[in-house]
Amino acid sequence: MILALLACSGGDDSAPAAPSPVDSDPTPADSAAPDTRGLLPLARLPELEDLDPADGAVRVALVAAPHTHSFTDTDNTTHTVDGFAYSSSGTPLIRAQLGDTFTADFTNDLDEPTTIHWHGLAVPYDMDGVTWTADPIGPGEGFTYTFTLTEPGTFWFHPHFNTDEQVSGGLYGVLIVEDPADPAVDEDLVLLIDDWDLDPITAEIDDMDHDHVAAEGSWTVNGQLQPTLTLDGGSALRVRVLNVSNLGYLDLTWPDIRQLGSDQGIGGALSSPDSIVLSPGDRAEAEWLIGEDSFTLDDAPYVHQGGSAWGEASALMDVEIGTPSAAPSGLDWPFSGLMPTPDPGHTDITYVFSGSRETGVWLMNGAVFPDGDIDEVTLGDDAIIEVRNLSPAEHPYHLHGMPFEVLSIDGIAPAARQMEDTLNLGVYSTVRLRVEGNNPGDWMSHCHILPHAEGGMMSVLRVNSPK
């Protein structure tokens, strides 16, 4: 049913759906399912003010508090969800530069404990926001997070306590670490994508369960239902897309994809995939070279339980052209040009994902966290990790503390060196990863489908100093 709502904006080959004018009255007798598209111009995430005037330092204030998220559809009806946010103006964006000292003065104004985890960033262990060896931050309490930004990329942050519920209520933000050496663009555009559960009959937002599979549910871009972005021909954009859903998968398409990188910034080489699958927690970077043609950012139905997807792609966002002009040529991105590290063949750590929807139990190495064994790596050593998915569902593997290199996916090495912190595992698939054990601590290693992680699909990778 929801599919019907979302499919209305047209298939992939048709001309991009022109948004109907805001002031045209919706046809009243229309008994069909309500239209859940929106018509608003795309909002940019509100950028937090840097409270430290010094060069090389960025300091922000973050407050976790109850927040009403609202979404306006084509009928100009506003749907609301009572959730949470880190800023009174919604989901905050932080921009900093490579090498900066970053500080966040955090206050918990929720009525339950929370933490902040800096997803994808190699932070010192006591800044990682996990509650494995530390207490969470209680209501009314605060904490100062501070660390150096050592890698450029598109990162995000979210709680690591009652994670599924707090993240699905909208408690997250974006942290962009810019490399000043990168090419200048007309816009560095952040698209934060989340799904919210719409009632199939009334299109009211029921709750924040986000419990959709495939094309159900309603995706928002920067908190808006199918917004419209107007760009001028001749402009070049760096587009950073984040999937912050607690369990929804995106399969993104637009014409002539030019992918620059993924979780950990600009990658080994430019790639031109047919679509970009973003599992929960995943990010991608792309270049948009705008010419004369409008287009839509589409999401194809994606089934993460195996089997084939059904239904049509739905538009997440319309891109309209202001002043048409020839598209610029691609910019000179600092791709590493590196090939993947050859797989050394041995395995230091094996993770097995198992479980099923029938049992509702999701396991890592046969155990429910924290019952499993701790895997140890000596500080300074590389660890070769093999992750095997023996379950009939996909799982995004995520490691805290250190990014990893993808050595192979089902035996196939990537075309260029690929650094990630979140990597989706297909049904019954096996991936091999290399992590440099250069950050001492007890790092959470888990599935980023948050109900799975909370259910126990999590483990600890300990990086120890040699005695």
By CB under 6 A, name the binding residues for ligand C2O.
117, 119, 158, 160, 281, 398, 400, 444, 446, 448
Is residue 114 a contact partner of residue 171, using CB atoms and an 8 Å limit?
Answer: yes
Nearest residue to 331 via CA among 264, 237, 263, 230: 237
* Nearer Cβ to ligand C2O (314/422): 422
Q: Which does 449 bind (CB under 5 to 8 A by kind): Cu ion, ligand C2O, none?
A: Cu ion
* Nearer Cβ to ligand C2O (448/452): 448
How would you classify the pairing of strands 374-378 and 458-464? parallel
Q: Is the peptide bond before 180 cis (omega within 30 degrees of 0)?
A: no
* Nearer Cβ to ligand C2O (74/166): 166
User: For residue 88, how many other CB atoms are within 10 A of its CB?
Assistant: 10
**Smallest separation, CB 281 to ligand C2O (Å):** 5
Q: Which does 258 bind (CB under 5 to 8 A by kind): ligand C2O, Cu ion, none?
A: none
By CB under 5 A, residue 447 contacts Cu ion: yes
| Contact residues for 250 (Cβ-Cβ < 8 A; gap 6+) | 193, 219, 243, 276, 277, 278, 299, 302
* Nearer Cβ to ligand C2O (2/444): 444
**Smallest separation, CB 400 to ligand C2O (Å):** 6
Q: Which does 447 bind (CB under 5 to 8 A by kind): ligand C2O, Cu ion, none?
A: Cu ion
Distance, CA of 459 to CA of 467 (rounded, Å): 23
| Contact residues for 53 (Cβ-Cβ < 8 A; gap 6+) | none
Distance, CA of 91 to CA of 69 (rounded, Å): 10
By CB under 5 A, residue 395 contacts Cu ion: yes
* Nearer Cβ to ligand C2O (279/354): 279
* Nearer Cβ to Cu ion (67/452): 452
Nearest residue to 61 via CA among 134, 116, 99: 116
Is residue 128 a contact partner of residue 146, using CB atoms and an 8 Å limit?
Answer: no
**Smallest separation, CB 449 to Cu ion (Å):** 4
By CB under 5 A, residue 449 contacts Cu ion: yes
Stretch that binds Cu ion, among 86-94, 189-197, 377-385, 393-401 (CB under 5 A): 393-401
Q: Which does 238 bind (CB under 5 to 8 A by kind): Cu ion, ligand C2O, none?
A: none
Q: Which does 456 bind (CB under 5 to 8 A by kind): ligand C2O, Cu ion, none?
A: none
Is residue 444 a contact partner of residue 160, using CB atoms and an 8 Å limit?
Answer: yes
The residue type found at 40 is L
Nearest residue to 239 via CA among 301, 172, 192: 192
Distance, CA of 209 to CA of 46 (rounded, Å): 25
Q: Which does 69 bind (CB under 5 to 8 A by kind): ligand C2O, Cu ion, none?
A: none
Token pair 């509650």 is found at: 131
**Smallest separation, CB 17 to ligand C2O (Å):** 34
Is residue 318 a contact partner of residue 229, using CB atoms and an 8 Å limit?
Answer: yes
| Contact residues for 189 (Cβ-Cβ < 8 A; gap 6+) | 44, 229, 237, 238, 239, 240, 288
By CB under 5 A, residue 417 contacts Cu ion: no
By CB under 5 A, residue 398 contacts Cu ion: no
**Smallest separation, CB 422 to ligand C2O (Å):** 7
By CB under 5 A, residue 446 contacts Cu ion: no
Nearest residue to 417 via CA among 408, 409, 405: 405
Stretch that binds Cu ion, among 34-42, 175-183, 246-254, 439-447 (CB under 5 A): 439-447
* Nearer Cβ to ligand C2O (71/443): 443
Stretch that binds Cu ion, among 110-118, 150-158, 387-395, 434-442 (CB under 5 A): 387-395
Locate 62 and state its tokens. Answer: 């973050």
User: Which residue has its beta carbon closest to ligand C2O?
Assistant: 119
The residue type found at 136 is P
Residues that bind Cu ion (CB under 5 A): 395, 447, 449, 452
